[in-house]
Amino acid sequence: MSATPTTSASPAALVMGATGAVGKALIRELLADSPPAYSKVTAIVRKELDYDGPNRDRLVQKIVDFENLEKDKDVFAGHDTMYCTFGTTKAAAGSAAAFEKIDRDYVLSAAKLFHTANTDTATTQRPLQFLYCSSGGANARSWFLYMRVKGEIEEAVKNMRFNRVGIFRPAFLVVEESRGGQKRVAESLLRPVMDNGVARWMGLATPVGAVARAMKTWALKANAASGNETLEHKDIMAASGL
């Protein structure tokens, strides 16, 4: 069932995927304001994120076992918004089965724990909401593994009946730094073409910073209607103001 409004609480955010390209940009975005938008930002991670930006004291990092999130379920409580930028690729995972487990099953397990831990703490002013960074072309009925898994995640989180669900579908992600030494041949070949204003204008490339800002803007929108919303590249760019 959907979250039932009760009493007010200071806004707090949970981030899954904080060590990735979009996640790092998101952490900076959530903590950039003075005073920051959230009283606390909790990042659930395998290893700690190296963050030395503003409002560092409001960043809480929790090392968790994604294979067995249930034992770390207490970390999900006390947050009204969960941002998920978590993801991998088949090549990085090692196989199709491993990709589905990491990319889909870990995310859905976390989403369920977040919903269960906070359903009774949502308020009219601070609804329980889940934001997911998906991919352009995501479709649960796609023949392509990556797009199918992203689409399956989208449908599943929508059916969990959060007060609000925001699905963000960026185009080719223009990153701000190398991805931890990971060798992605296609990305290295495409980046010179995609990392320019024309590609963004044509809807072919989305900067990770734009995704991060759009997610924060969407989550903090005043008097937002309940329900599910999907934002494609042009919507992300408009929401980000970039």
Q: Which helix (H) or strand (E) holds 205?
A: strand 205-207
Please state, in angstroms and as integers, the Cα–Cα distance from residue 120 to each residue in 1, 46, 190, following that order.
Answer: 11, 28, 46
Angle at 65 between CA 28 and CA 90, to 5 degrees: 75
CATH code for position 123: 3.40.50.720
Report pLDDT for 122: 61
Report pLDDT for 69: 96
Report pLDDT for 200: 43
| Residue 146 is assigned to a structural domain of this protein | yes
Structure-token match 């223009």, residue found: 174
| Residue 233 is assigned to a structural domain of this protein | yes
Q: What is the pLDDT of residues 124-146, one digit of tens each?
A: 567 899 999 999 999 999 999 99
Phi, psi angle pair for 7, to nearest 5°: -100, 165
The domain of 81 spans 12-240
Whether 150 is catalytic is: yes
Using a 10 angstrom Cβ sphere, with 0-12 exposed, 13-18 middle and 19 or more buried, the burial of residue 181 is exposed
Domain count, the chain: 1
Q: Give the strand pairing for 164-168 and 227-231.
A: parallel
Please state whether 171 falls in left (phi above 0), alpha (psi between -120 and 50) or beta.
beta
Whether 62 is catalytic is: no
| Residue 178 is assigned to a structural domain of this protein | yes
Distance CA 105, CA 204 (A): 28
Report pLDDT for 47: 93
- Give me 180's structure tokens: 């931890």
Distance CA 231, CA 167 (A): 6
Q: Residues 29, 99: contact at Cβ < 8 Å? A: no
Q: What is the pTM of this model?
A: 0.86
24, 132, 146, 216: which one is catalytic? 146
Report pLDDT for 206: 92
Angle at 131 between CA 130 and CA 135, to 5 degrees: 140
| Residue 2 is assigned to a structural domain of this protein | no
| Residue 28 is assigned to a structural domain of this protein | yes
Q: What is the pLDDT of residues 180-216, one digit of tens each?
A: 444 443 334 334 444 444 444 445 689 999 999 999 9
24, 132, 150, 216: which one is catalytic? 150
Phi, psi angle pair for 155, to nearest 5°: -65, -40
| Residue 36 is assigned to a structural domain of this protein | yes
Structure-token match 């980000």, residue found: 240
| Residue 6 is assigned to a structural domain of this protein | no
Q: What is the pLDDT along the chain (242 residues), one digit of tens a residue?
A: 444 433 335 789 999 999 999 999 999 999 998 888 899 999 999 999 999 999 999 999 999 999 999 999 999 999 999 999 999 999 999 999 999 999 999 999 999 999 999 987 666 567 899 999 999 999 999 999 999 999 999 999 999 989 999 999 999 998 865 444 444 433 343 344 444 444 444 456 899 999 999 999 999 998 888 999 999 999 999 999 87
| Residue 18 is assigned to a structural domain of this protein | yes
